[in-house]
Amino acid sequence: MATSSFFSPKVYFGEDSITFLSHLNHKKVAIVTDDFMVSSGKTRYLIDAMPHASVSVFGEVKPDPNVDILKAGAAQFKSFKPDAIVALGGGSSLDAAKGIKVTLEALDQNHRIELIAIPTTSGSGSEVTSYAIISEPENGRKYPLIAQALMPDVAILDPHLVLSVPRHIAVDTGMDVLTHAIEALVSTGANDFSDALAEKAIDLTWRNLPLIYNDEKNIQARMHMHNASCMAGMAFNSAGLGLVHGMAHAIGGMLHIPHGKINAMLLPLLIEFNAEQASPQTLERYLKCAFIMGIQHDCPRQSIAQLVQQIRNLNQQFAIPATLKKLGIDIAAFERLREQLIDAALADGCTASNPRQASPQDINQLLSLIVG
């Protein structure tokens, strides 16, 4: 293994961990969030937790943030000069806050801003990664930006903030967590530290996501999923991801499919694809994943077939369809985009660390399998 390093913000977790906010001694705090967080009173709750801070709220983040959102946020905060940005919301708000932070720091290079990430969904892991996904609506592209400056300084994982997430979103984002963990485990950048976190994230997700599906108010299961999301984020931040994410960014961006859902649909196909020509080390890693999910078979190939089947069963249980046709996507529109989708998947920053190198023909075949 080549020399590696492992970065992580300070992480506060568990019920009522949001109260740690009151211990942070910032004078000027900028909150980056969406209009729902403002109208539902969650933003007010944060402001009340920081009675000594002067606060400015930018509540205009939309799903799949683009450069215009970053510019608007930076314009609002430029003269305010915050010493901290609190990012409150799902992956979109966290990624937008990262972009606004680096934009402000680029405008005034002597001004260092602390970034505090408070996720309200259990999925992206953005609170502990140096990734930000920024969209370009004109061509439907999503770009993963990767830079150490995008890593938050503090992450707060309070399960009460995810309790009201509806279960169809909880399972989509939860399948994103499972995909992060499995892709990190078999990635070409996997290492002992990322393995430990990925394996635990798979275990927690496998046991707790079905519990949330059956009972949205299960606070213990919500807490474990929130922690799993963070651990999977730490794992892929260190190890990298793979072709599920490379293809999901392309398909999801151009056809407007929720990120976790398209990952869940692609994951079984990519395990089959990768395992077909896998090194002994990659096979062993998929077997480890199967073992965590309770699959033990004398024949390794049978174990991997069962792993794929278990993930398909989970998708079925969560009402996540197996094909774009069943999802109601306009297939003629998909076919018009096919060449662009192949190019975008190959160029995506996540594709390079997939354990099996894919050719344009391979991706074309995988696209045919997902169409249905």
Secondary structure letter of residue 66 according to DSSP: B
- The minimum distance between CB 64 and Fe ion, in angstroms, equals 13
For Fe ion, which is the closer residue by CB, 82 or 91? 91
Name which of 266 and 307 has its Cβ closer to Fe ion. 266
Considering beta carbons, is residue 75 or 145 the nearer one to Fe ion?
Answer: 145
CB 93 within 8 A of CB 58: no
Among 127, 172, 176, 183, binds Fe ion (CB under 5 A): 176
Q: Which residue is nearest to Fe ion (CB)?
A: 176
What residues numbered 190-249 form the site for Fe ion, per CB under 5 A? none
At position 62, the amino acid (one-letter code) is: K
Binding mask 251-280 for Fe ion (x = CB under 5 A): ------------------------------
173 or 274: whose CB is closer to Fe ion?
173
Per CB under 5 A, the segment of 17-25, 58-66, 175-183, 354-362 that binds Fe ion is: 175-183
d(C-alpha 79, C-alpha 77), whole Å: 6
127 interacts with Fe ion by CB under 5 A: no
Site string for Fe ion, 306-345 (x = CB under 5 A): ----------------------------------------
- 224 vs 245 by CB, closer to Fe ion: 245
Report the distance separating Cα 144 and Cα 272, nearest Å. 25
Give the torsion through C-alpha atoms of 236, 127, 119, 179, to 10 deg: -10
Using CB under 5 A, which of the segments 61-69, 160-168, 173-181, 198-206 binds Fe ion?
Answer: 173-181
Tokens of 347: 């160029």
- What residues does 55 pair with on adjacent strands? 29
Q: How far is the CB of 245 from Fe ion (least distance, A)?
A: 6
Burial (0-12, 13-18, 19+ Cβ within 10 Å), 79: exposed
Could you tell me if 25 and 215 are in contact, meaning their C-beta atoms sit under 8 angstroms apart? no
Minimum Å gap between C-beta 61 and Fe ion is 18
Whose CA is closest to 140, among 299, 257, 276, 240? Answer: 257
The answer to whether 98 and 152 are in contact (CB under 8 A) is yes
Instruction: Select from 131-139, 172-180, 187-195, 267-275 the region that touches Fe ion (CB under 5 A).
Output: 172-180
Q: For residues 219 and 163, is the Cβ–Cβ distance under 8 A?
A: yes
Binding site for Fe ion (CB under 5 A): 176
